[in-house]
Amino acid sequence: EPEVTQTPSHQVTQMGQEVILRCVPISNHLYFYWYRQILGQKVEFLVSFYNNEISEKSEIFDDQFSVERPDGSNFTLKIRSTKLEDSAMYFCASSESRDTATDTQYFGPGTRLTVL
């Protein structure tokens, strides 16, 4: 069964450093998402992406964050200058369409980001 993959599974970085989290969505999917879960808190929506542009973003997704589909398979989340509070599990998801009523978002296993 096709699945969403994410690398690395765990990333440790120093505060102020840039990090790139990578995701390979399911191959025929057109919509891509990033969510995050700070330890002990809810999974929160960050951003959705379609046709090479952001279609929706949350208030969390500020100028420090960016997303990109650099080639036909990868979908990346970049954090320009990491802060301690960026430490979280980051989940990538993909779907064929944007309508959750008719379609399903498939999630990857997550990347645990630790900012020291």
CB 26, min distance to other proteins, A: 11
Residues between 34 and 73 that touch other proteins (CB under 8 A) = 35, 41-45, 48, 55-56, 58
Answer left, alpha or beta for residue 52, where phi above 0 means left and psi between -120 and 50 means alpha.
left
d(Cα 40, Cα 9) in Å, to the nearest integer? 19
d(Cα 88, Cα 110) in Å, to the nearest integer? 10
* Nearer to other proteins (CB atom), residue 9 or residue 73: 9
Positions in the binding site for other proteins (CB under 8 A): 3-4, 9, 31, 33, 35, 41-45, 48, 55-56, 58, 91, 93, 95, 98-102, 104-110
